[in-house]
Chain A
Amino acid sequence: GAVVSQHPSWVICKSGTSVKIECRSLDFQATTMFWYRQFPKQSLMLMATSNEGSKATYEQGVEKDKFLINHASLTLSTLTVTSAHPEDSSFYICSASIPGGRSNQPQHFGDGTRLSIL
C-alpha cells in the first residue's frame, strides 16, 4: 500500500537553530502534502498545504517565515522550523493522498517527528 515516510522521527536541538523535517511519498507521486502540528492529548492542527512546484498555503495564524515549506519534487516535501525556540517543541506529522483519486481516498500519514527545543 501507499506509504509516507517522515524523517527524522525525533530531534533535539538548541534554541535558535533551524530544523528540517522531510516527508516522502515512497510509492506514489504526491502533488499535495499536508503538514500538521500536534500537542500532547490534543488534535492535529493543520499548519499548511504543500503544493509541488508552487508556494504552500498556510492556515491562519501560522507564521510563514517561521515554518518554511518546500515541495520541490513530487515525492518530497520539507518543513523547516527556523530559529526554533522551546515553544516550537511539538509533534509534527505530514500526510499525502494519491493524486487523481476521490476525496474518499484516505490520507496516508507519516509516523511523525517529535521536536524538542532546549
Chain B
Amino acid sequence: AQTVTQSQPEMSVQEAETVTLSCTYDTSESDYYLFWYKQPPSRQMILVIRQEAYKQQNATENRFSVNFQKAAKSFSLKISDSQLGDAAMYFCAYRRISGANSKLTFGKGITLSVRP
C-alpha cells in the first residue's frame, strides 16, 4: 500500500519570505501522480500544484513550485514571497495511475502560519 509522510506538523514563515514544506512517500509503482492541496480555515480543499511522476521537470504554479526527487521519493513544496493568505493546512497526496476514479492518499498535513 502507498503511504505519504509529512513529518513536520507545523511551520512558520515571515511574510515575503520563502518556505519549503516536506513530503515523502512510499510506493512500489513506477508511475503515479502527486498533489499538494491547501486547506484554509474555511476548510475548503484547494489544489495548489500537481506533478506527474514520469515528468522529470518540476511543476510550477506562480509562487508555488515543487522539488520532485523520484529516486528519493520526495515531493517538497516551495512557497515563494509568502503572503498572509497562504496560511493554511497543506496536504501532500498520492494517486495511482489507474484512472480518474482512483483515490487519493493524503499525508497528515502541515499547518503553515505566516507572520506579518
Contacts and interface: CB of A to CB of B under 8 A. Distances in A.
A-B complex is real: yes
Interface of A: 31-32, 34, 38, 41-44, 46, 49, 91, 93, 95, 97-107, 109, 111-112
Contacts, number: 64
A99 B100 contact: yes
Contact of B107 (A43, A97, A105): A43
A104 B101 CA distance: 11
A97 B101 contact: yes
- Most A CB contacts (10 A, CB to CB) among B47, B101, B102 go to B101
Contact of B43 (A97, A106, A112): A112
Nearest to B50: A104
Given A43-B91, A43-B107, A106-B35, A101 B44 contact: no
B99 A109 contact: no
Given A99-B100, A101-B100, A106-B35, A43 B95 contact: no
Interface string B94-108: 011111111110111
Interface string B31-50: 01101000000111101001
Contact of A103 (B42, B47, B89, B96): B96
- Most B CB contacts (10 A, CB to CB) among A32, A101, A102 go to A102
B111 interface: yes
Majority SS at the chain A contact face? loop
B97 A103 contact: yes
A103 B45 contact: no
Closest 6 CB pairs of A and B: A109-B45, A32-B101, A101-B100, A97-B100, A106-B47, A104-B33
A107 B97 CA distance: 14
A106 B108 contact: no
A95 B104 CA distance: 10
A42 B101 contact: no
28 contacts: A31-B101, A32-B100, A34-B103, A38-B43, A41-B109, A49-B103, A91-B43, A95-B45, A97-B100, A97-B101, A101-B100, A102-B97, A102-B100, A103-B32, A103-B95, A103-B98, A103-B100, A103-B102, A104-B33, A104-B52, A104-B95, A105-B100, A106-B35, A106-B47, A109-B44, A111-B42, A112-B43, A112-B44
